[in-house]
Structure formats: C-alpha cells, structure tokens
A and B are shown apart, each in its own frame.
Chain A
Amino acid sequence: MTLGPEAWERAKQLFHDAVQLAPSERETFLAGTGEGGALLDEVRALLDAHVEATEPADADPPEPGRPSRPRTPAASEPLLASPGAVIDRYRILQEIGEGGFGTVYMAEQLRPVRRKVAFKILKAGMDTRQVIARFEAEQQALALMDHHNIARVFDAGATVTGRPYFVMELVRGVQITDYCDSAKLDTRRRIELFLDVAAAIQHAHQKGIIHRDIKPSNVLVTLHDGVPVPKVIDFGIAKATDHRLTEKTLFTEFRQLVGTPEYMAPEQAEMSGLDVDTRADVYSLGVLLYELLSGSKPFELKDSLQKGYDAVLRQIREIDPPPPSTRVDTAGRDVAALAERHGSDPHRLRTALRGDLDRVVMKALAKDRNRRYETVNGLAADLRRYLADEPVSAGPPTLRYRLGKLARRHRTVATVALAVFVSLVLGLGVALWQAEEAHAQAQRADQRSQEASEARALAERREAEVRSLLDRAQLAETEARDALAAEQQARREAEGLRLSAQAIALADEDPDTALRLAIEGAARAPGDDANNALYTALQRHYLLDTLHGHDAASRQLTVSASGRHAISADDSRLTIVWDLEERRALHRFEDHEQEMTAVGFLDRETLCWSASMDGTVRLRALADGSERGTWKTGSGIVWARSMATDDAVCVWTVDGRLLVGSPADADAAREVLRVEHPRRSAEVVGRRVVLLDGSSRLHVVDLGGEALPRVLALEDRDPPGYYNVHLWYQQSVEVDASGRYALVRTRSGDLFLVDLDGPSIRRRVVGSDARPGFCAGQALAPSGRWVFALRRSIPGSEMVGEILDAHSGTSVHRLGTNRDFDVRGPAWFARDSNLLITTNGPRLSLWDVGSGARVGSLANDPHGHHALRFVPGSDRFVTAGHSGGIDLWDPTPFESSRALTERSRADGGANLTRVSADGRLAIHQAPRTPERPGTEPPRLLLDLQSDRALAEIAPDLPGHCDVRFSADGLLLFVSAGDGSGSRVIETASRRVLGEPSPPGEFWDAARFTPDGRCLVARTGKEFVAYDLDRRRELGRVPVTWQLPAALSPDGRRLARTDGASRTVTVFDLARGEELHRIQHNALTFDAGYTPDGRYLCTVANDTGMRIHDAATFDTLAVGRVPTADYMELAFAPASDRVAVRCAAEILLFEVPSGRRLARWADPEVDYRACSFAPAGESLTVVDADGRVVHYPLDPLAYARSRIQEPLSAALMDRYDLGTPAERAARAEAQRAELASTRALIADALALYRGNELQKALHQLDRAASLRRNLGDQFHVLRAVVLTRLATEGAHDDPDQR
C-alpha cells in the first residue's frame, strides 16, 4: 500500500475533495474519479479514520484498566434500538417518530412495573455525561410537576454506545396543529385548547421548570371521551441537552437543517449567555398561538436558512413578523382552504384575528422580553378576556389603551397624571382671572346695583368653580401618586416573583447565585413563593466560602482540633495559615526548597509546622507567624504528622528513618525505627504509629510504651498483568480512631483489616485466596465498623462502590458503580457524623452511611479537590482544590441530624413506634414474636442523638400499650391496652408524674395541653379531660367518631371532631354542655387550639384548615391544605404560626390571617413529625428516613446571615433587575470602571516597557482591585512582570539604580 510521492499527492487531493462531501456521497465521488485501487483504498482508509477521529469524543474516556468496550461503528447504531432490543430495563417495540435531536420509540418498561413508555434516543454528538448530569440536576424539580397536560419524564440514561436516552410517559396523540386542522376547530376552540397548553406551562414555571423547546411537535393532543386533551412532552430535555441555537444545532456540516429555530426566543438564539427565563416560553407559546390562529409560522426561515446561520439569527432577532390577521390575506389562493380548516370563511377569520388577537400574539412575540407578557398567566388572562369580550391588556394605543397601560408602566402614569394636572391648573388660572375680573367689575359698578349684583353672582359662581377645580386637581394629584406607587409596587412584586422562580430553577446548578436571587426576590415580594425559593436555595447552599490565596494546586491540608484554624500548602511551596471563623489568611510562608509533604499544628494550636522533601520541618508561632525553629532531618520527608502528645512531629524520611522530634528542640529528636521503602502510607493515632512499607509489611510502634515495634507481614502477591504497569493498586494504610484496627490495601488490590492488638488477626475484607480483590479505592470509618471499597466483584464487570462491614466483609450498602466514583480517588468518613464523602471528577458525593443514600453532591473547583478534612465536632469540612482555592463546606445548611442511628437502623426504623416531634426521643419496641406469645418486647425510650436507650418505659404495664409524647417531648403518656393502668412520665428524669386512668379503662389518643398540665384521652366511649396537677378529671364528653379531641390550654373547653357529621363540637367541660357546632361542608378530621387559647383551628375535607376565633367561633381565615393525606397540626409557642403536616408535605400558615408562609413538599419524603422550637425560631421536621431538619422560620434573615455581600452589579444585569434608571446607572458605572482599568493596564504596559517593573505591578494591582474579570492581556502582563521581578531580583530594580 506504499504509494509513490505523486500518487500520495493525488490521494491527498482526493481526500480533500471527498471530505467536503456528505459521507454518503463520498463513495460515488471516489468511484467516479477513475483512479486505481491502491490509491483509492488509501483514500478510503484515510476517510474512515477521519470520520472516527473527528467523531465527538466519547463521553467517558476509558479509564486505565477498565475494560474498554468495543466501539460500534456509527453505521450500526440504529440496530441497537431495533424492535426487540433491550436497553437497560426497556424493551424497544417500534419507532414512533424522528426529530432533529433523536429518534423516539415506543418501548416497554420491564422493571419495576411493566408499562409502555416513550423512549427517546438522542443522536450522536452530545456529551452524554453532561446531558445526564444536567437531567439529574433537574430531576427533582421535574418530579414535582404533576399536571394532566404534562407528559412526565421518568428516567434518563445512556445506551451501550454512550448515547443519552430519555424515558417519558407515552402519549398517543397528534401534533396540536394537525389536530386543530383536521378537527376544523374554529378560532375560539383553538384558543381554548391553547389555554390548556398555557396552563401546563404555567404549572411548570411555578415549579421552576422552563420548557425551552415548545413547538407543535412537543404538544400532542389525545382524545379522552371525545374531549381533546393537549399534553406537553419533552420537559427537561431541552435543558439537559443544552438546547441552543448554534451553527452546529442548526445545520450539519453540509448545510442540512437540523434545528427548528422558528420557535426559539431571540434571547435563546443569541449566544450572549443571557439567561433564559420563563419569558422565553412565553415567546414560543406566542409562535404556537400564531400558527394555530393563522395557519402559518411568523417567519418562514427557509429563505434565510439558505443564506446561512447569521441570516437566521438576524431574522429571529431583528425582523418583526406580520400580524397573524395579514396572513389570511397573503394566503392567496389557499385562503379558502385555510378558512375551511379553521371552520370559518376568509372574511370571518380575518375579522376574528384583526385587533385584539393580533395584539395579544404580537405582544407575546416581542423581541425584547421586557415587552412580552411577564408570565404565561398574563398571556392566558388576555386570551380569556378576549373570549369573554373584555378589553385585553395588550390594547391599542388609544386613550383606553393608555389608561390600561397606566396600571403597567409608571412612566405613562406620570405623564398622564401631569397632563391632567396641568390642564386643571390652566383651568384654575382662567377661572381665577375671571373671578378677579368679576370682583373688579363689581367694585366699578358699585353704583350700578343691577350690574353689581349680577357681577357678584358671576364672581361667586366663578369662585365655586375655582374651588371645585382645586379639589379635582388635588384629587388627580393624589390619584396619580397612588397609581404611581401602586405601579412601582406591582413592578417590584412582579420582579420579586420572577427572581424567586429563577432562584428555584437555578438552585441545583448554582446554589450560590440562586440564594442571592432568592434573597432579592424575598426583599421585593415576600410571601410563600419567596420563602419556598429561599428554602430551596438554602437547602442546596453547601459552599460557605472559598478562601483565596493559593495560585497552584493545594494538596496538603490540616484543620486544627478546635476547628478554628487550617493550614494548607500548594505545589508552588506556598503555605498558608487560615482563620476559618473569620475566613481569612493569617500568615503565608514560602521558604521550603522542595515539594511540600505535610502541614500541621502543635501545642494547643499556638504553633504550626510544615514539612517538605527538602528535609526540613519549619515551626512557627500561630499568633504572629514568627519562626520558632527549623528541624533539619538530613533527608527528604515523605510523610509527617503531629503526635497526640501535641509537642512533637513524627516524620518518615526518604532513607527510611522514622523520627520523632520537635523543631523547637531539634537536638532532642530521636530515631524510632528504620523502615526501608518508605511509601507515604502511614498513620498516627494517639501514641501509636503505623507504617506500611513497600513490601506490604505493617510496622506498629507504640511510642512511650514498653512494647517493641512489631512487624506484621501481610500476604502479598503481584498484581496480574498490566495492573502492575499502571501502578493500579498503590498500597495504603488507614487506622481507626481507637488505633486498634488498620485497613491495608496491598499491591494486588486486596483489602485487609488488621487487628493491631490481636495475636494475628488479619481478615481479608476484599479479595480471596483464589483471586485478588481488584479494589481501587477504600476508606475506613473512624469507628472501625465500616469500610468503603470500590472494587470489581466479578472479573470483567463494572466496579462497584460499597459500604462493607469491616469485620465480616459483607456488603451493607451498594452505593454505585465506577461511573459514580473516581477510580483510585480518595474517600473520607466523617468522625462526628454519619457521612461518607467520595469523589467523582470535580464532584464530591455525600452518602449517609446508615441508609446508603446519597444525600448530596457538591462541586466548586472544576478540576477537583485534592484533600478534605472535617471540622471536628460538625458536619462541616474543608477541601483543598486543584485550582488552589480552599473551600469551606456545610453539607447540612439547615441544622439537622440523622436520628435513626445504629439500633434503629438494624430494623429499618420499623420498630420506632413513636418519635417525639423534635426528633430527639423515640420509643422503640420490637413486634411481639409468635414464639413467645403473651410476652411483650421491652418498650425502650431512646435518645436518638446518642442512640442510647435511656430507660425501659413502664415495664410493669403488661400487653399492648399506647404511648404518646407531649408536643415538646418533655412528657410521655403510656397506657395499657388491658386497662390495668396508665402513666404520665417525665422523659428527662423518667419520673412518674401521675397515673390518671381509673382501673379497667383503656385510654388512648392522648394529647397534652402546651403547658403539660392537662391532657385529653379517649376511652372506648368518651373523651376524658384530666388535670395532672390536681389529679382530677375535668369532664367527659361522649365519642361520636374515633378521632382525637382537642383540649383548650386552660383545660376548660373540649373540641370534638365529629367526622362524618361534618362538624366540630365545642363543649364547656365544667358545665358539661355543648357551646357551639362549627359546621363544615365535608368530613372533619381534626381540631386544635393555639397555645394562647385565642384561636381554634379545624381541618376538614372541604377547604382544608379554618382558623376560628375561639371565643366567638367566627371563621377568620381559610388555609388550603391537601386534606387527603392530612396528618396533624403543630402550633408555634407564640401562637402566630400553625404547621399542617400531611404525608408528603408540610404547610406553614400565619395565625390568624391564614396567609401561607411556606410549603415543604417532596414526594420522596415521608414526613413523620413536626414541631416548633421552644422560642419559635425554627420548625423541626422529622421524616421516615430519620432525618431531622430544623428550618428557620425567617429564611430571609437566615439566608442573609449566610451570604454577606449583596447581588453584584453583573448579576443584577444578568437577571435584568431594577428600574431603567438604575440599569442605566449600572451600565454607566461599568463603562467607567472598564475605562479606568484599561487606562491602568495601558499605563502598566508603558511602565513595563520603560523597565519600571515595580510601578507596573502597582498599576496592575490597582486594576485588579477595581475589577474582577480582567482579560488575557492583564494576566499575561502580570505573569511576565512577576517572572522578571523574580528572575532579575533586587539588583536589577531600576528604582534602586
């Protein structure tokens, strides 16, 4: 196949020509060239290689050692999705459509339920991992959408060939435009159908989801009992695929159109990075409406498409489409057909569209999104007004239009008001003049009484007119001012709502910006939506701060025992000591000559040290950074740690010496051990040092003890084949907090748990005699109980990340596969909580060790984090990033904890029969066992925080018992099912405070009053109110329905829920008489008094919750509650809030206004209890997973405490905030700032050329202080100046010459 030089040139030429053609045309072209076989073969081979080489890079590059999967040639891709093929848990049935981005199949889901679904496989050319990551980020929000006009998106994943796919609800329907035409719907019915679509989109917007790709093919109409029901499909997909109009999405290489740009809003078409918000969907809906009404799209982009991408962009951005009604005229010969499809005639159709509908559509299609409808609701409202023959808000520019606009645009308001005012003043002037004149005449005509009286009368009339004009003028002015204020307020609120929605949409992607937006939103429009946005953003706001100082990758990091300080070192040998509380750098050192090894603290954090490969340990005072000594070990240090004695550092040197000493007294250093092949794998716990050498021998030294160093040899074997080459399995050792157990990974990837105190226990946790363990990542929990391992359990299979029981090696939780973890990446168990943190590229995944659930995913440094240290005593941790930033994280933004710990986890929480509302205490009781009938397993009172059993509760009460906590968890009521007694127990002391029930009576459903003095319980037939202080019954009321009753805080009144009789009856207990029946329209569920006794809340299956005046029984407010799964009411101590807990959501209302303040809803979460903190500052929510979250009740104040600096001007611009004047001022300020930084950089360049390096640097630093984002010129210049300053040193400094 060797070609001569001439033939090669010819081959190159043919390659160039062929490569311009579409792949399918190349063969024809080559065949027609008349060239010979060898040459053509060469060209074909090159073309094939070209196709392969330029194919988009595989989404996940094969990691070393992982078996690479065979690449299927592009041509055979469709075979994969041919009918019958099974992809993950879906069986492909048939193709049902093909679009620009992929092919849609009908498929059958096989697990966990069998159902038909729509299965969409995207075309090649997208970064699968990103697509799926973006989808997952949105999934939470998508799950919240529940609307009968929205097709649900179930799942996303990747095919074997790495293409992303989406699984959606299968909708058997036709495109909305086709349906309307074939059903010959008239304009009105088209609008009605469109309104359903708008409602769906509005619903999504309220959940923070923007569709981004609304077009007829994404709106399908199905018939339900003959009624057309539109369904919007593909939610979340446009965002996942980063649907944008680019040259690439618009055309293939060969100018074949792929995208549908007609429906795209101008801001989506622009690549300006402007954020797409809900108004982009308003635009797309506008296009859809245009097409539905007029039968054509606003633009026919065919012409501009031929002119290319730029022409398309220009058309979308700049050219206004003709109003829909004119399309009837331009339809020409087809007009009759068009009208017929619209169930009309040409004239009627034109008339119907002209005017209001034209204006509504054109308003939705405005190029500037500020001129569009602010929300989809606005558009829908106008259409509804049109249908009801009311004037639309998108009115014509007449007086009515301007008056209509008065409510919207305050500038217009001001103008109108001014005009009215001016005309009035003019009128006033004339009238005054006339009055004056009349008076003058009257005086002149004093003698002529006839004239005089007439003139006087005229003067009086004029005066009256003046007064009336004056009044009107004043009125007009007040009205104008009110309108202006109302308008400003409305604008502000609209802006606030938009910000809140944007915050929710952004929360997963960029929680920091989301929180800032939510704060701004709440400041503008406080309320339910704003609070939800705040909670959503706060929930994900894990990154507290990034500390800047390192410019190179920082790898060494230590957090002090108090959690107050941290010390870090980077690749450029810079060491920084940080104050984590004030979040600033305290000291910087740069005096090591070689790579850094470790950093740490000594002597109760008064000293810090740094060790390096240059063989020195340098010690400094933390207070002032002064040098306190240097310990020269004489050989490079590979590993170093502070000793638990807090006065010495233990180091391991390149030549194998293990030394213990203090830099302050270097002479006193002693050599403890000599171990060849130092490995950087060692650990110190207490006074014990454990070293793993290169021959897999474990050396255990107990310093200060009598015992001699011990050597434990671990069975080691060579890793097979290429693993050796790849240094796959580096050896490593970790020791638990007690210092007793060590986890060792050997070269063959086996994991051993070694009992360092035992005779010779080394259990192989992973791996067996027969085969190595292939473990490529591990961690040992400080408790020594759990091991995280990333291993390959079956040869050739995926690697699996698991939590194993350290002692038995059995798998406890399977966390994921190697797609979820960095192979060979580090992992960390928290010491003071149940967290495990693993890495996956730049992302850190947080796992709950107890449940194996992923509880969070964080990332800040795009290149990953090298070191992670927990802040002692908290969930917070610090990471050192590849880009140098030191990040401070708080993975539980709301103070929270995991209540279900070891004991409760063993049985999955099923035996926690009661959890106190604050999540602190629980009753644990195993079910009765059939083997031992009659014997009751013990009822244990658990402290969930420490997982200790505090006491056995009422062991003397036999059989089944009912147990209830008081709302504050301070009291416990226990009663025996056989009527043999009951107890009221103080949980703190376990003292029995009372035994209220009379013998033979079983009391259940007990409820305490807030002060714990009284309780109400239910016998079989009656409710009993009981005073615990006086130890006497307050009264009894017959039971009508088996629901709990409510006792007023003073114990005088009892509210009985009557269920099916739709009433709540209130009794006076002392007099034993009925006071009032509160009538509902449906089944009543519950009632409850506020702690101050002023209000009574009732819950029924009609409106939800009603707030009544407890004295007059007047209904003060109604709060809507999804009553189907209502669980309980919880009251704030100050009686100003009530929380309504349902199975899957919690609603917070203000009392007595009934205003909804917040809503927590997560279909995944089963809420078990909720209560208010004693001072009412937070709401504690306990869920079935045992998570206890304390939500601050003033989320705005809490958010502000986490984020100090306000929204930056850049973000304000990005999110389109403020009045036009404010925006203009910001733009002006930015221009000025840019001009002055430019001037400074230019100045610096001139100084640099004049060799005045110090001055140049000064100017550059000034520029940097002015502006954050500076261009390449700045960075290159600064680097050059710094390099020259460093290399030339002081002797070249021109200032000193």
Chain B
Amino acid sequence: MDRDRAELFAAVYERLRDIAQNQLAHERAGHTLQATALVHEAWLKLGGQTPGGGDALDRGAFLAAAAESMRRILIDHARGKGREKRGGGRVRVPLDPLELAARQEPHDILALDEAIEQLAARDPRLAEIAKLRIYAGLSAAETGNVLGIHARTVRRDWQIAQAFLHRAVNASPQATSEEEPE
C-alpha cells in the first residue's frame, strides 16, 4: 500500500510539476492561477493513462498526493528564487500559493509553508485540511471526502486553521521598513 502511494505520489508530482512550471514560467504577474485547474488537469492526464476509462485512480489518494505535490513544487519554485527579504509593510498575504507564486513573492510561499508546519505540530488534522484546501484547491466537501470526515467539520476546522495561518504568516518578523529605497 505504501509503495502504491509512493508511486502514485511520484506520478502526480511529476505531472503537476510540469504543468505548474509551464504555467508559472509563462504567467504574467497579476494573473491568478487556479490550483483547482492545475490539479484537475493533472487528474485528466493521469487518469487518461489507465485503459478502461473508469476511475482507475483512487481520487482521494490522488488529491492528497496532489496537495503534497503542489506544496513541494511551490516551495522548490520559491527556494529557486532565493530567500530575499521582502520590502514593504504589512501586506496581507493571501493564502493562495499560486497567487503568491505569480506575484513572485518567494518569501510568502515559504512563510506559508512554515506556518503550515507550525500548524502540523500543533494539530495534524488541521494542517492536513489546510494543505488540501490550499494546495489542491479542494472544496470543503471534497476535503471531507478525502479525509473521511463530514464537510461541516471541515468547515469548522478550516475556520480555525485559516485564522492560525493568517496570524502566523502575517506576524512574520520581516515586516519592518516601509521606506522606499533611494
């Protein structure tokens, strides 16, 4: 089972990386990419490889793998850009990693990742929910399906996870100067 998951992960990761990198490389700043669209595209491409046409892949497992893949892709992307300090004061950091990527704010992607790590340390289930919602762009109901919990619970937990992440991301110590460099 673990081997299956690892293989699945590898396949999803590779596919998503291709799609996402292609998108990120060409995307003009200001255009928000849709995590859902990327994941959906990967699903179609992977799903297409199994003859028979049915849902050969376990959609839940796929989505979990997709979320984790997206996270790694974006972090790689951000690390690749370097970890420079971001200027400006308190910018509201959106919890949409692709928007962050498109805005070329590597700091924010890494900050978001750190925040999720912090959350995982505090409450693994909240972190799991956050990854699926943020990186795979899943709805509450889809997240519930993947994790086997009720959508209502997802919504409840998401509220608190969102608050936690928002605080963690925006409380980063980097926010200091607002001077324009001369």
What residues of chain A have their CB less than 8 Å away from a CB belonging to chain B?
Answer: 8, 12, 15-16, 19, 45-50, 52-54, 57-58, 61-65, 67-68, 70-71, 553, 555, 571, 595, 720-723, 725-727, 771, 795-796, 822, 824, 841, 863-864, 866, 882, 1248-1249, 1251, 1276, 1279-1280, 1283-1284, 1287-1288, 1292
Residue in chain A with minimal CB distance to B50: A1284
8 Å CB contacts to A: which residues of B156-182?
Answer: 156, 159-160, 162-167, 170, 178-182
Besides A1251-B53, A1283-B44, 7 new A-B residue pairs in contact (Cβ under 8 A), listed by A number: A49-B167, A62-B91, A68-B178, A722-B84, A771-B182, A1279-B44, A1292-B51
B31/A46 in contact, CB under 8 A: no
A12/B160 in contact, CB under 8 A: yes
Closest chain-B Cβ to A770's Cβ sits at a distance in Å of: 9
Known: A771-B182, A824-B29. A49 touches B163 (CB 8 A): yes
Contacts of A61 in B (CB 8 A): 94
B181/A722 in contact, CB under 8 A: yes
A882 to B32, CA, bound (A): 12
B92/A1284 in contact, CB under 8 A: no
Return the contact of A67 from the options B52, B85, B95, B178 (Cβ within 8 A).
Answer: B178
A67/B180 in contact, CB under 8 A: yes
Known: A1279-B44, A1283-B45. A70 touches B163 (CB 8 A): no
Shortest beta-carbon contacts, A-B, top 10: A49-B167, A53-B166, A721-B181, A720-B181, A50-B163, A1283-B48, A722-B87, A49-B163, A46-B163, A725-B84
A50 to B167, CA, bound (A): 8
A15/B160 in contact, CB under 8 A: yes
Known: A53-B163, A1248-B53. A795 touches B89 (CB 8 A): no
B53/A68 in contact, CB under 8 A: no
Residue in chain B with minimal CB distance to A794: B180
Contacts of B88 in A (CB 8 A): 62, 67-68
Closest chain-B Cβ to A481's Cβ sits at a distance in Å of: 61
B86 at the interface (CB under 8 A from A): yes
24 A-B contacts (beta carbon < 8 Å):
A8-B122, A12-B123, A16-B156, A46-B163, A49-B163, A50-B162, A50-B166, A57-B94, A62-B91, A64-B29, A71-B90, A571-B22, A595-B26, A722-B85, A722-B87, A771-B182, A795-B180, A824-B29, A1251-B51, A1251-B52, A1251-B53, A1287-B45, A1288-B51, A1292-B51
A720 to B91, CA, bound (A): 20
A782 to B105, CA, bound (A): 36
B166/A1284 in contact, CB under 8 A: no
Contacts of A863 in B (CB 8 A): 31
Closest chain-B Cβ to A52's Cβ sits at a distance in Å of: 6
B60 at the interface (CB under 8 A from A): no
B53/A1284 in contact, CB under 8 A: yes
Known: A720-B181, A722-B181, A1251-B53. A19 touches B159 (CB 8 A): yes
Return the contact of B167 from the options A46, A720, A866 (Cβ within 8 A).
Answer: A46
Known: A16-B156, A721-B87. A54 touches B180 (CB 8 A): no
B91/A68 in contact, CB under 8 A: yes
Contacts of B166 in A (CB 8 A): 49-50, 52-53
Known: A12-B160, A53-B162, A68-B90. A1280 touches B167 (CB 8 A): no
A866 to B30, CA, bound (A): 13
Contacts of B82 in A (CB 8 A): 725
A1145 to B53, CA, bound (A): 67
Task: Number of B interface residues at 8 Å Cβ cutoff, please give it.
Answer: 48
A52 to B168, CA, bound (A): 12
Contacts of A1284 in B (CB 8 A): 48, 53
A882 to B122, CA, bound (A): 42
B160/A70 in contact, CB under 8 A: no
What residues of chain B have their CB less than 8 Å away from a CB belonging to chain A?
Answer: 22, 26, 28-31, 44-45, 47-49, 51-54, 81-82, 84-92, 94-95, 103-105, 122-123, 156, 159-160, 162-167, 170, 178-182
Closest chain-B Cβ to A838's Cβ sits at a distance in Å of: 14
Contacts of A726 in B (CB 8 A): 104
B103/A64 in contact, CB under 8 A: yes
Closest chain-A Cβ to B122's Cβ sits at a distance in Å of: 6
Closest chain-A Cβ to B115's Cβ sits at a distance in Å of: 11
B30/A63 in contact, CB under 8 A: yes
B167/A45 in contact, CB under 8 A: yes
A796/B180 in contact, CB under 8 A: yes
A1280/B163 in contact, CB under 8 A: no
B48/A882 in contact, CB under 8 A: no
Contacts of A50 in B (CB 8 A): 159-160, 162-163, 166
Closest chain-A Cβ to B163's Cβ sits at a distance in Å of: 4
Closest chain-A Cβ to B158's Cβ sits at a distance in Å of: 11
A1082 to B181, CA, bound (A): 71
Residue in chain B with minimal CB distance to A863: B31
Known: A571-B26, A795-B180. A1280 touches B44 (CB 8 A): yes
Known: A49-B164, A722-B87. A8 touches B123 (CB 8 A): yes
Residue in chain B with minimal CB distance to A2: B122
Closest chain-B Cβ to A514's Cβ sits at a distance in Å of: 29
B30/A54 in contact, CB under 8 A: no
Known: A722-B85, A722-B86. A553 touches B104 (CB 8 A): no
A841 to B30, CA, bound (A): 8
A595 to B26, CA, bound (A): 10
Contacts of A71 in B (CB 8 A): 90, 92
Contacts of B178 in A (CB 8 A): 67-68, 70
A896 to B84, CA, bound (A): 53
Residue in chain B with minimal CB distance to A58: B92
B53/A1249 in contact, CB under 8 A: yes
Residue in chain A with minimal CB distance to B31: A863
A65 to B87, CA, bound (A): 8
Return the contact of A1287 from the options B49, B156, B162 (Cβ within 8 A).
Answer: B49
Closest chain-A Cβ to B2's Cβ sits at a distance in Å of: 27
A1292 to B31, CA, bound (A): 39
Which of A70, A595, A1283 has its CB near the most chain B CB atoms (within 10 A)? A1283
Contacts of A595 in B (CB 8 A): 26
Contacts of A723 in B (CB 8 A): 181
A796 to B177, CA, bound (A): 12
Contacts of A722 in B (CB 8 A): 84-87, 181
B94/A864 in contact, CB under 8 A: no
A569 to B159, CA, bound (A): 44
Contacts of B95 in A (CB 8 A): 53
A1200 to B163, CA, bound (A): 56
A1292 to B156, CA, bound (A): 48
A652 to B108, CA, bound (A): 36
A822 to B30, CA, bound (A): 9
Contacts of B47 in A (CB 8 A): 1280
A1253 to B148, CA, bound (A): 34
Closest chain-A Cβ to B30's Cβ sits at a distance in Å of: 7
Which of A16, A49, A796 has its CB near the most chain B CB atoms (within 10 A)? A49
Known: A64-B103, A725-B82. A720 touches B182 (CB 8 A): yes
A968 to B30, CA, bound (A): 53
Closest chain-A Cβ to B38's Cβ sits at a distance in Å of: 14
Contacts of A53 in B (CB 8 A): 95, 162-163, 165-166
Contacts of A47 in B (CB 8 A): 163
Closest chain-A Cβ to B69's Cβ sits at a distance in Å of: 19
A1249 to B54, CA, bound (A): 8
A64 to B102, CA, bound (A): 10
B48/A1287 in contact, CB under 8 A: yes
Residue in chain B with minimal CB distance to A55: B92
A50 to B28, CA, bound (A): 31
Closest chain-A Cβ to B161's Cβ sits at a distance in Å of: 10
Contacts of A45 in B (CB 8 A): 167
Contacts of B123 in A (CB 8 A): 8, 12
Closest chain-B Cβ to A1279's Cβ sits at a distance in Å of: 5
A397 to B88, CA, bound (A): 73
Residue in chain B with minimal CB distance to A882: B31
A795/B167 in contact, CB under 8 A: no
Contacts of A52 in B (CB 8 A): 92, 166, 170
A571 to B82, CA, bound (A): 27
Residue in chain A with minimal CB distance to B27: A553
B162/A1280 in contact, CB under 8 A: no
